[in-house]
Amino acid sequence: MSEDPKSLAKRIAGLFKRGTNAPRPAAPEVSFSVGDRVRDIWGKEAVVLEIDASAEHGLGRLRVRYDDGRELNYSMLGHPFSPISKSS
């Protein structure tokens, strides 16, 4: 008469299946390239080592080296950098 209720495991699996059709975000364009000097929102300067727009499931990745030697990765979607003009 009535359908068999789905098991908890099947309901949870169904939630994950529904989320897989979402389109991947596109990494935004950046106004600098590899080798350029950039400044973060705290005023610290760094050199861009790598820009990979296809990394991190389409969010993109920036790899920079700060002047103190640290190398860090940032998402291209929300990075804190702006280019430093060559004349300054």
Tally the domains of the chain: 1
pLDDT at position 54: 86
- Take residue 58 and report the two structure tokens written for it: 């389409």
Distances (CA, A) of 7 to 12, 31, 44, 81: 9, 51, 54, 49
Q: Is 21 part of any domain?
A: no
Q: Is residue 43 pLDDT above 90, yes or no?
A: yes
Confidence of residue 60 (pLDDT cuts 50, 70, 90): confident
Q: Which domain holds residue 88?
A: 30-88
Q: Is 81 part of any domain?
A: yes
Q: Is 73 part of any domain?
A: yes
Q: What CATH number is attached to the domain comprising 68?
A: 2.30.30.390
pTM: 0.68
